[in-house]
A and B are shown apart, each in its own frame.
Chain A
């Protein structure tokens, strides 16, 4: 009636087969930036914090004001991204100056939100699971689909930048985030404007944020750094951070990106890590099927043995 060591061993082997030690993971491929991916470059040394982009975003995306009452007045003054704000300017004091930072979806090269979304509601344009008409492939823009989002909010857990926002006080809520003003694209135009046309980039008086192909923006960022190394932190945030993003950032010399609210991320994307670890034991679906067959066989045999024993002696214990 006691459980022998051999039994435990057998059990352990079965459990081990199911959840092979993740170290043996065959890695899911690293995702490279798409050649024609579009994105933005934000240069925090140029931003003066006028918030023109913040207002333009609300107009372009038909978002209501985020009303804040203060000093007897009412202001549209969001203090963070939220369900009525897809783009926000924040001030970070550093030394005796302010540094302004623009926050919105980073349109990651290998986005966590896309990796976790059950039915592909968040997806790279043209690469969703259901049939999307009118979506171009290869832009890398991360779009949200209201027909397949179940509102699980796993994207909020996954996104290291805390970008997707949820409408907490709606009976029929949506996920709200920047979609790079893809709806403002103009097919008549050539180049990146045929793909998308972010209102924030259009209105910025200082060209602190510009829109274009990611490869061009990356080259431009590196050019700026090389031309004026005194002015810039040499690191272009988003080139590799978190597996790379399509929105790139420049900061002033001596200013760390985490002091501007951007997380320190490894170069390996979290999606690649998580998918490699969790897919490894499945071996493309072979393990569950093999395990099922083996278990059905053993259980069946055990049942027969049990029945035979019951007919033989009374009270097998």
Chain B
């Protein structure tokens, strides 16, 4: 045994009430999606030629993948900076990332009007390398594969611990092979999000005249990259806290405290970049008594608050407070991303002094659109529960007996 704690399968009843609710919600959203494929996107959504992406891109893709960036953030610390103590967080973070990105990718397929032509995406000579969206699409597709490959060690590990000798042999053999290849896969798993998370910001460079000047900047790619890390670290803290409450997952508060200090650094870096950009480019004049300024101040507060909390010893020691700060860190990035993609986007653009120009379009998400987004999140949680029950993903605290958990904690067995 090394110093690392070993993850184990949670086991327990698969179709518990939570699972049933999650699947029911997803079922409803699946009906909406089916209806969309028959009647067109307009009949389930409030999207128009003016607000053409509705909430599906901004939330399902841009916010979900931000949350999924926990895998990227933990990978950076654990493998690139060689902070071995973060090992216990790798598997939950990677599984969360794999699921979030898979959902993001599937949401794109639902949002694409002419999804059948997406089969031509692998034809490299047809690639328009100027398109930020192409970069995102290709990169995200590759990264989804890489993330699931990163989940495989947990699966092989589960197989290796199986009672069936055949499964056990397969698990051991492939587990060892994977271990050799891992560094090369992990390097990809760090490179790809670096590229596509910045491209997600780069996507809105072209929207120049349509995006409010306080949001439109050449730093969009950098700000999106930084905000995915702050969201990702926050998401890992939140996730493990939830796992502890439900399954008695091991939660190393000191470890969280030091990871959150890193997060405080990223949150503040974001604030400095954003403010610096606005000051240097003479955009202070857009601050006034209006909605844009209000949103901007809210965003800044959302970034600064968790940063300050993360460095306070009182918060670092207290599970509840650190959890709250981590939630704020996710919210900060989510609000920034949604504002950039939606709230501060106007099809007819903005006047020179930052007033929105009227156009024939208004937008508020429809019930159908919202159900699809909620259903996607629900099925994501269901998949997480499913895999963690069957395979060793979560590190369980051996010191205490699980009381709240659904089903007692036990090691994986392959029956």
Contact = CB atoms under 8 A, between A and B. Distances in A.
Interface of A: 1-3, 7-8, 10-11, 14-15, 18-19, 21-23, 25, 79-83, 112, 115-120, 129-130, 146-154, 156-158, 160, 162, 165-175, 263-265, 270-271, 273-275, 277-279, 281, 288, 291-292, 295-296, 298-300, 302-303, 305-306, 309-310, 314-317
B113 A295 contact: no
- Contact-size category for B: 35 or more
B80 A299 contact: yes
Interface of B: 1-3, 37-43, 47-50, 52-53, 76-77, 79-85, 108, 111-115, 117-118, 120-121, 123, 125-128, 130-135, 137, 182-184, 186-188, 190-191, 194-195, 198-199, 202-210, 218-222, 225, 254-255, 258, 261-262, 265, 345, 347-349, 352, 359-360
Contacts of A25: 218
Contacts of B108: 152
A292 B185 CA distance: 10
A275 B81 contact: no
Given A118-B128, A157-B207, A168-B41, 17 more contacts: A3-B258, A22-B219, A119-B123, A147-B117, A148-B126, A150-B120, A150-B121, A151-B112, A153-B113, A157-B52, A168-B43, A168-B49, A169-B43, A171-B39, A173-B40, A271-B206, A299-B80
B209 A270 contact: yes
Contact of B40 (A116, A171, A264): A171
Contacts of A14: 80
24 contacts: A7-B83, A18-B225, A22-B219, A80-B360, A118-B133, A119-B123, A119-B127, A120-B126, A129-B128, A150-B120, A153-B113, A162-B359, A171-B37, A171-B40, A173-B113, A277-B202, A278-B135, A278-B199, A291-B191, A295-B187, A303-B183, A306-B82, A314-B1, A316-B84
A299 B112 contact: no
Nearest to B208: A270
B113 A166 contact: yes
Contact of B206 (A264, A270, A306): A270
B40 A170 contact: yes
B272 to A, nearest CB: 12
A98 B127 CA distance: 46
B304 to A, nearest CB: 19
Contact of A3 (B79, B198, B207, B262): B262
B209 A117 contact: no
A165 B205 CA distance: 21
B81 A299 contact: no
A79 B359 CA distance: 12
A10 B81 contact: yes
Contact of B114 (A11, A150, A265, A296): A150
A148 B49 CA distance: 20
The 5 A-B pairs of least Cβ separation, nearest first, read: A151-B113, A168-B42, A151-B114, A274-B205, A315-B3
Q: Which of A148, A162, A275 has the most CB of B within 10 A?
A: A162
B222 A19 contact: yes
Given A116-B133, A302-B82, A278 B40 contact: no
A19 B221 contact: yes
B194 A115 contact: no
Given A21-B222, A150-B114, A292-B187, A299 B3 contact: no
Given A79-B360, A168-B48, A274 B191 contact: no
Nearest to A265: B209
Contacts of A81: 49
A171 B39 CA distance: 5
Nearest to A7: B81
Contact of A160 (B133, B134, B210, B262): B210
Contacts of B118: 150
Nearest to B218: A22
A162 B361 CA distance: 11
Contacts of B37: 171
A147 B114 CA distance: 9
B222 A288 contact: no
B79 A130 contact: no
A291 B183 contact: no
B219 A18 contact: no
Contacts of A80: 360
A317 B3 contact: yes
Given A79-B360, A271-B206, A274-B205, A150 B128 contact: no
A18 B42 CA distance: 39
Contact of A118 (B131, B195, B210): B131
B130 A316 contact: no
Contacts of A119: 117, 120-121, 123, 126-128, 134
Nearest to B87: A306
B127 A160 contact: no
A14 B190 CA distance: 11
A274 to B, nearest CB: 4
